[in-house]
Amino acid sequence: MEAGEEPLLLAELKPGRPHQFDWKSSCETWSVAFSPDGSWFAWSQGHCIVKLIPWPLEEQFIPKGFEAKSRSRKNDTKGRGSPKEKTLDCGQIVWGLAFSPWPSPPSRKLWARHHPQVPDVSCLILATGLNDGQIKIWEVQTGLLLLNLSGHQDVVRDLSFTPSGSLILVSASRDKTLRIWDLNKHGKQIQVLSGHLQWVYCCSISPDCSMLCSAAGEKSVFLWSMRSYTLIRKLEGHQSSVVSCDFSPDSALLVTASYDTNVIMWDPYTGERLRSLHHTQLNPPMDDSDVHISSLRSVCFSPEGLYLATVADDRLLRIWALELKTPIAFAPMTNGLCCTFFPHGGVIATGTRDGHVQFWTAPRVLSSLKHLCRKALRSFLTTYQVLALPIPKKMKEFLTYRTF
């Protein structure tokens, strides 16, 4: 889609009805994820099942005229044997999903040494957070179960790998803790982060691997150091439970979404609140019966860092441009729970309470040279380092996202 156009529904996947289960029980899609290289899609489809689906989708799922630009990859893989869809039976309700980045060569060698029974492919792995507090680690190419991580005392709600490829995994749980695991050391638990007073809903690691954000059923958001595993600061500003968070691709911005119907954009380095995005209903009710109908469920950044997507209880997927205070596009969706962008842009995936996954067109734009330079600089400069540069004030404001 071009900027300003409404998102179009590209495809919708629905789980087959399992006769042995009460259909309405535990059928939610709490989590969806793309692998960092965009070659796999993971779908928690309810009833303890995760589907691993090669991307792009098969032709029968995509309407004519919407073939993905990356579809040419499919022709490249045919000679080597195309990857096949896999079904992972996790034995428990699946709440959280996370793909690892492609491991660096040293990590691959360590992994092969510890797991000689696993073929030495590129070793892309998927972590699944379960209802009983367990975390299961799967090898994507083969569908083999590699590790079972025990430690949490309640539901593992969210998972996040460090983007560096070091195979460090962070888990967030209803037991009010976050735990840090090293998959290069047989999944050893290396740290427990305590301090939240409510269930931890979400965890997100900054792309530069320096910070960890965690959101619980509280009005404040915790920001942790990924180097020392200590609390850096609490971000105060929401009026109700914060349920979702995400860093921008350059780590310079943090967004948090709350039941208070607002997304707040923060500078994670200074703790400053840069702006709020309020979710107003398109058709407000005549009475106060639906006070929380615009409660947020999920927020995520686009891969180039120019857009946000949000899912709310008012049955709308919204797309926001970074520098505008109102959405640039809406799409109708019922019972939405989660959203994520395809890592190469152009598609948003959403999951619902019915166990469905929907794929929507997302804005495709060429980033301006200004934004590309800002993104490159902010990938290794903190806000304080930018402010210390001998450059004009307006340039500092632009580089620190203060031009809204």
**Can you give the pLDDT at residue 283?**
60
pLDDT at residue 68, as a whole number: 43
Q: pLDDT category, 67, cuts 50, 70, 90?
A: very low
Q: Report residue 325's pLDDT band, with 50, 70 and 90 as the boundaries.
A: confident
Contact present, 317 and 10 (Cβ < 8 Å): no
Residue 401, CA distances (Å) to 206, 276, 395 in order: 17, 14, 10
d(CA 342, CA 70): 11
Q: Is 251 exposed, middle or buried (0-12, 13-18, 19+ CB in 10 A)?
A: buried
**CA–CA separation, 207 and 269 (whole Å):** 14
Distance CA 89, CA 82 (A): 22
Q: Show the DSSP H helices in 328-392 as ranges.
A: 369-378, 383-387
Please, what is the Cα angle at 323 between 335 and 200, to 5 degrees?
A: 45
Q: What value does the mean pLDDT of the chain take?
A: 85
Which 8-state DSSP code applies to residue 192?
Answer: E
Q: Whose structure tokens read 């006769």?
A: 19
Instruction: Name which of 93-107, 149-163, 178-192, 384-398 the model is least confident about.
Output: 93-107
**CA atoms of 45 and 145, how far apart (whole Å):** 18
Model pLDDT for residues 247-290, shown as the tens digit of each residue = 999 999 999 999 988 999 999 999 999 999 988 776 655 444 44
* Whether the Cβ atoms of residue 231 and residue 195 lie closer than 8 Å to each other: yes
In angstroms, the CA 109 to CA 134 distance is: 26
Q: What are phi and psi of 95, to 5 degrees?
A: -105, -40
* Least confident range of 63-77, 139-153, 208-222: 63-77
Residue 366 binned pLDDT confidence (cut-offs 50, 70, 90): confident
Ordered alpha helix ranges (H), 55-213: 72-78, 105-114
pLDDT, residue 61, reads 55
Is residue 353 within 8 Å of residue 312, measured between CB atoms?
no
| Cα Dmax for the chain | 68
Distance CA 252, CA 87 (A): 37
The average pLDDT across 180-186 equals 92
The CA–CA distances, whole Å, from 311 to 18, 41, 376, 403 equal 28, 19, 29, 26
Is the pLDDT assigned to residue 72 strictly greater than 50?
Answer: no
Judge whether residue 167 has pLDDT over 70. Answer: yes
Distance from C-alpha of 313 to C-alpha of 296, rounded to nearest angstrom: 6
High-pLDDT (> 90) share of the chain, %: 63
Residue 213 has pLDDT above 70, yes or no: yes
Percent above pLDDT 70 for the chain: 82
Q: What is the pLDDT of residue 46?
A: 80
Hey, what are 223's tokens?
A: 């920001």
DSSP character at residue 177: -
Whether the predicted pLDDT of 62 surpasses 90: no
| pLDDT (tens digit per residue) in 280-324 | 776 655 444 444 566 888 999 999 999 999 999 888 999 999 988
Q: Is 227 helix (H, G, I), strand (E, B) or coil?
A: coil
DSSP code, position 373 = H
Q: Residue 123: which pLDDT band, with cuts at 50, 70 and 90?
A: confident
Calculate the alpha carbon distances from 211 to 107, 214, 238, 327, 385 in Å: 22, 10, 20, 28, 16
CA dihedral 356, 170, 251, 367 (to 10 degrees): -30
Distance CA 185, CA 325 (A): 46
**CA 222, CA 206: separation in Å to the nearest integer?**
13
- Per-residue pLDDT, 389: 96
Mean pLDDT of 45-51: 87
Q: What is the DSSP string of 193-222?
A: E---SS-EEEEEE-TTSSEEEEEESSSSEE
